[in-house]
Chains A and B, each alone.
Chain A
């Protein structure tokens, strides 16, 4: 697999998120960070479940990210925003090979790293388009099942 190559259909990806406060939905988990926006793929980080366990995924993010959100790659690709503007591309899930010092990252679970592309809003497109994508991703994750990882000494 190479960076940018689509993840095969039928797979499930994990997005790590912080716990919810006062209930509510998981939208914030799909908001691209400034680092995501600056990344070559302009995308949010996920892990392909067949290659990375939720526990392994947790080792790649800050300790406060203890929720593992599971989403079907096919369901992600099937989403359309609201309003459905034809110029807005579908979301996609592509591999993103992790490297450390120009060599492949050999940490357990690193091989599963991928990204959801299409979540960074160009300024010409209404915000609601991307908020509707974000909400639909949150709903997909909620429907598939959210795993809550045990708190460790670091994230307590």
Chain B
């Protein structure tokens, strides 16, 4: 990939305004923006099952804008891909990003399930039943099979 890019006037003006807003120099802001975009492109190149394409697009945008770490986003897409390979009809999650992590959540009445991924980290499962207050948590290492417990909890949050 080339590390030079030609900006049209409108794009240049947008970058300049954003650099000014965050109190950065235009040169530094443009360099950081380009790095983020390059990282985001790695996410955009992943091969994913159809239900995950919207998540991929969303995470591409979040990483490109510097809102969440590229590694956490990439890992979350890999975990989701593995879920959908093992359970092609798995329920689709809600998704949120934060400064250090990506979070997917499933809710079905009293059942709440989530998987949280930090940069460089495992997938961290958490389940809570809002009525009985029963909780479960488990770490999921990338590249290992989805556990029986995780499958069981994914069934509970199926709408």
Give chain A's interface residues, CB within 8 Å of chain B: 18, 20-29, 31, 33-34, 64, 82-83, 126-128, 131-132, 135, 139, 154
User: Which of B92, B98, B107, B137 sits near A25, CB closer than 8 Å?
Assistant: B107
B158 is an interface residue with CB less than 8 A from chain A: no
Chain B contacts with A in 94-108, Cβ cutoff 8 A: 94-101, 103-107
A79 → chain B, closest Cβ, in Å?
12
The secondary structure that dominates the A interface is: loop
**Beyond the given A21-B96, A28-B97, A128-B135, could you list 6 further A-B residue pairs with CB under 8 A, ordered by the A residue number?**
A18-B96, A22-B94, A24-B96, A28-B98, A82-B133, A131-B114
Given known contacts A25-B107, A25-B112, is B100 in contact with A34 (CB within 8 Å)?
yes
Nearest 4 A-B pairs (CB), nearest first? A24-B94, A28-B96, A24-B105, A23-B94
Closest partner residue, chain B, to A33 (CB atom): B99
Query: Which residues on the A side are within 8 Å of B37 (C-beta)?
Result: none
User: In the complex, A128 Cα to B96 Cα: how many Å?
Assistant: 18
User: Which of A18, A21, A31, A135 sits near B112, CB closer than 8 Å?
Assistant: A135
Q: Is the CB of A24 within 8 A of B137?
A: no
- Among A27, A31, A126, A154, the most chain B Cβ lie within 10 Å of the Cβ of A27
User: In the complex, A127 Cα to B54 Cα: how many Å?
Assistant: 29
